[in-house]
């Protein structure tokens, strides 16, 4: 049994993997943000909130008003994605960062895609 597990692990390690700069692109996020389906809408909002949390962990805090609502964050990201279709192929994390930076430009440097 041990040999089978080792063989399976070796075979999987040889399988081609599709690497990407990010798991979600702006195109994926845009589809979620514009959806009227509650789960997709929530995906857009929660992903955007996660980028804010992750930026704090990485020491690159995004400066936003303390009383911003999840709905406002959704609207900011959705508006940015609608207004910048030329960048939607970039990683969604970068586009969320840029959306917040554009909405609240003080002390929020832009990030560039690939």
Does any domain span residue 2? no
Does any domain span residue 108? no
Query: How many folded domains does the chain comprise?
Result: 1
Please state the pTM of the whole predicted model. 0.74
Picking from 81, 77, 91, the residue whose alpha carbon sits closest to that of residue 22 is 91
Does any domain span residue 66? yes
Which of 114 and 107 is assigned the larger pLDDT?
107
Does any domain span residue 88? yes
Q: What is the span of the domain harbouring residue 42?
A: 22-103
Give tens-digit pLDDT for 26-68. Answer: 999 999 999 999 999 999 999 999 999 888 888 877 888 889 9
* ∠ CA 16-26-59, rounded to 5°: 90
Does any domain span residue 73? yes
Q: pLDDT at position 10, please?
A: 36
Give tens-digit pLDDT for 65-112. Answer: 889 999 999 999 999 999 999 999 999 999 999 999 899 886 655 666
Does any domain span residue 60? yes
Does any domain span residue 84? yes
């Amino acid at each position: 049994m041990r040999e089978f597990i080792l063989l399976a692990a070796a075979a999987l390690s040889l399988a081609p993997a599709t690497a990407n700069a990010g798991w979600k692109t702006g195109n994926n996020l845009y589809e979620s943000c514009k959806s009227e389906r509650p789960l997709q809408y929530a995906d857009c909002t929660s992903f955007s909130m996660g980028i804010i949390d992750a930026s704090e962990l990485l020491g690159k805090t995004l400066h936003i008003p303390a009383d911003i609502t999840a709905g406002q964050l959704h609207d900011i990201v959705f508006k940015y994605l609608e207004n910048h279709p030329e960048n939607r192929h970039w990683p969604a994390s970068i586009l969320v960062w840029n959306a917040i930076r554009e909405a609240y430009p003080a002390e929020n440097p832009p990030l560039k895609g690939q």
